[in-house]
Chain A
């Protein structure tokens, strides 16, 4: 079926620590993956993306890892800050019945000062 799921619904980390948010996807034909951040009262905001011909991509303080063998995606946030507190969604570009961007359930990240 069409599903992108998350292993942990909530994650609490200490300010300054690294955060890792995990995601499993189900469609092996998907070739593009995206992480979004959603703050309260706002729409999801693009963080970083990765195509299926890569296994790692780095941005500013964020890294996305893609393991196609086990259909797993992760987002690593270095030196987590209070402003990182939000809900994080992984999304998958699925090639079924047209191109659909399907979102996972989301993980809420709490950063303790």
Chain B
């Protein structure tokens, strides 16, 4: 068990809808990361937060947004969903924002129908 908790585990929704994925980092970790993993694809970096502030941005669509709250949990919001957004979404956390390994949750599987 990595100590990173993601909810929900599975999510099925329709095109055009909006969903929120939630992540609780390991106790003591200040940095949270979001990744997308599509079928037969690697892990695509979306965004990173450190102690409540955005630290780095990857290939995150404008329809997607995230935030990290004062209690350090994070939420990833996906709106105007398309079929191609179906994927596994992983959250990871680390003690600091650089130079330390990431610890991943078991992901949220999103299916857009």
- A residues contacting B by CB (< 8 A) are 31-32, 34, 36, 41-46, 49, 51, 89, 91, 93, 95, 97-106
Asked if A99 and B43 make an inter-chain contact with CB atoms under 8 angstroms apart, the answer reads no
Q: C-beta contact mask, B68-100 vs A, less than 8 Å → 1, else 0?
A: 000000000000000000000010100001110
Alpha-carbon separation in the docked complex, A101 to B71 (Å): 23
Asked if B45 and A43 make an inter-chain contact with CB atoms under 8 angstroms apart, the answer reads no
Residues of A within 8 A of B105 (CB): 43
Interface size, chain B (Cβ < 8 Å): 26
Q: Please tell me which one of the listed residues B33, B35, B101 contacts residue A46 in the complex, with CB atoms under 8 A apart.
A: B101
Residues of B within 8 A of A91 (CB): 102
Asked if B2 and A43 make an inter-chain contact with CB atoms under 8 angstroms apart, the answer reads yes
- B residues contacting A by CB (< 8 A) are 2, 4, 33, 35, 41-45, 48, 55-58, 90, 92, 97-99, 101-107
Asked if B2 and A101 make an inter-chain contact with CB atoms under 8 angstroms apart, the answer reads no
Asked if A44 and B56 make an inter-chain contact with CB atoms under 8 angstroms apart, the answer reads no
Residues of A within 8 A of B98 (CB): 32, 93, 95, 99
Asked if A100 and B48 make an inter-chain contact with CB atoms under 8 angstroms apart, the answer reads yes
Q: Please tell me which one of the listed residues A32, A93, A97 contacts residue B57 in the complex, with CB atoms under 8 A apart.
A: A97
Asked if B90 and A103 make an inter-chain contact with CB atoms under 8 angstroms apart, the answer reads no
For residue B27, give the distance in angstroms from its CB to the closest CB of chain A.
17
Asked if A43 and B107 make an inter-chain contact with CB atoms under 8 angstroms apart, the answer reads yes
Asked if B43 and A44 make an inter-chain contact with CB atoms under 8 angstroms apart, the answer reads yes
Q: Which residue of B lies closest to A43 (CB)?
A: B104
Asked if B45 and A103 make an inter-chain contact with CB atoms under 8 angstroms apart, the answer reads yes
Asked if A98 and B48 make an inter-chain contact with CB atoms under 8 angstroms apart, the answer reads yes
Residues of A within 8 A of B104 (CB): 36, 43-45
Residues of A within 8 A of B4 (CB): 43
Q: Given A99-B48, A103-B42, A104-B42 in contact, is the A42-B56 Cβ separation under 8 Å?
A: no
Residues of B within 8 A of A44 (CB): 43, 90, 92, 102, 104
Closest 10 CB pairs of A and B: A98-B56, A43-B104, A99-B98, A103-B43, A46-B101, A105-B42, A100-B56, A44-B104, A43-B106, A32-B99
